Amino acid sequence: MSKPLEALADAGVSVWLDDISRERLRTGNLAALMSTHNVTGVTSNPTIFDKALAEGDAYDEQVTELARRGVAVDEAVRLLTAYDIRWAADTLRPVYDATDRVDGRVSLEVDPRLARDTERTVAEAKALWWLVDRPNLMIKIPATAEGLPAITRVLGLGISVNVTLIFSLARYRQVMDAFLEGLELARVNGHDLTRIQSVASFFVSRVDSEVDKRLKAIGTDEAKALLGKAAIANARLAYQAYEEVFSGAEWKALEAQGATPQRPLWASTGVKDPAYPDTAYVTELVARGTVNTMPQATLDATADHAEVTGNTVLGTYDRAHADFAALEDAGVNLTEVFGLLEQEGVTKFIDSWESLLEGLSAKLKSAV
């Protein structure tokens, strides 16, 4: 393991890979990364699966069998993705056992077209949980207004949840409330709280992309001085909120029943602006009890040259609050930004899902 990745582990950061494909699994690449890059989990999303199924021939044999059986395209997507997730979960099972069920997790997202439908999200989450049938699975549910009650109900069924598409502090606090309510419901329903894990995926780079665009349009020296500050400040304030909630009385009562905290997960950590260091969303967000899920390029860059010097979040809250105030003073409406990013995030995943369906539909017809 490289020194930067070892330093992240020492600082209490779990490194997850934000990618999965049949090719990565069958070549043993994921298993290798567990050894060489300290990868302790995997996240997936519709865009990742769309790319995986479009490239190479790794899925051809299974697609042909599904076509012969006349399986509908929506169900074919579930079966193919569940196969990969199950394989990844088995590969990561030693990590799951060694970390007392905390890491070794693999995430699978519900159909993003259900992001505004609570009842169907719950039903889909249950179906995916049954289909994959692995204890180290996490079901990804978006943090939309309709997703919040679904998160509570799915956790209440004893199902581990990765809450995705979180952009604002206000929404993040609602997500933590939904988590606490879900664990209480699980307790009432008789589930073992030690077996339920959750992460809250707080998106990073997309915040800078949208805010920087607005700052450049404003064009003042004050605005330009704030470029690249929004995403890191936002994430650091999220960690402050996490510390507040998970030191409170409501949490302590659940912790006494064996529950473990819902960890903040830094998502969208690939730097999109080449003017910024390619490991900025790793090195600037080092804090104990967090997860950083990285695309391959960010993982490689971190292993190669990241400078990890310990916790870079504690002691930064005043500066982060000041950056937020300065952004608002400069004319950036952050509430508007976060609402737009949530809507765009849902839309992008729906587009990827529909592209996935279209591509798989063509493969099924071709196989027949």
d(CA 165, CA 228): 20
Residue 345 in 3-state DSSP? Answer: helix
Contact criterion met (CB below 8 Å) for 151 and 178: yes
Contact criterion met (CB below 8 Å) for 231 and 211: yes
Give Cα separations from 156 to 86, 127, 161 (angstroms): 23, 15, 10
d(CA 59, CA 111): 20
CA atoms within 13 A on the CB side of 352: 20
Residues paired with residue 224 on neighbouring β-strands, in sequence order:
none
d(CA 262, CA 164): 13
Check if 140 is active-site.
yes
Q: What is the dihedral of CA 150, 153, 156, 160, to 10 degrees?
A: -20
Name the residue among 358, 298, 295, 225 with its Cα closest to residue 4.
298
Say which of 3, 51, 126, 140 is annotated catalytic.
Answer: 140
d(CA 108, CA 94): 19
Take residue 56 and report the two structure tokens written for it.
Answer: 């190479």
Spacing of C-alpha 227 from chain mean position: 25
Q: Per 3-state DSSP, what percentage of the chain is helix, strand, and coil (rounded to 5)?
A: 60, 10, 30
Amino acid residing at 334 = L
Contact criterion met (CB below 8 Å) for 285 and 298: no
Instruction: Write out the H or E segment, with its range, that includes residue 107.
Output: strand 105-109
d(CA 184, CA 289): 22
Count the residues in the chain. 368
Take residue 44 and report the two structure tokens written for it.
Answer: 């997936």
Active-site positions read 140
